[in-house]
Amino acid sequence: MRLDLFLKKTCIVPQRRLAKEICDGGAVQVNGRAAKAAQELRAGDVLRLLLPRRDLELRVLELPQGNVARRDAGRYVEVRRDVARDPVGTLFEGAAGEEDDDDNESDGPGTD
């Protein structure tokens, strides 16, 4: 089964078009190698998705036959790692958690 179709059928990505875009954009690896949308998957393959807000690593347990109900999607993958990413925090390292004292002061009329 194609990688983009697998991502869509197992509800990892909501649309096949989006799955194709992230694959072809270099955000998906299969078994440690960059993968395009047309890559064929097999049971046992390890997927890594570097999404804007998540770093997700999955192992393919089984390839779905036909359509998959959302409640059954989890039986096809094993989540090995799911780490939330903060895209803003990665751009401004060290800025998270630091307070700026100027934000708490009022610069309105009558203050000197």
- Residue 67, classed as helix, strand or coil, is coil
Please tell me the total count of domains within the chain: 1
pLDDT digits (tens, 9 = 90+) for 63-90: 999 888 999 988 999 999 999 877 665 5
Inside any domain, residue 110: no
pLDDT digits (tens, 9 = 90+) for 40-58: 999 999 999 998 888 999 9
Inside any domain, residue 100: no
Q: Quick check: pTM over 0.85?
A: no
Find the helix or strand (DSSP H, E) in which 68 lies: none
Inside any domain, residue 64: yes
Inside any domain, residue 21: yes
Q: Tokens standing for 50?
A: 């570097």
User: What is the pLDDT, as a whole number, of residue 105?
Assistant: 54
The whole domain housing 25 covers 3-91
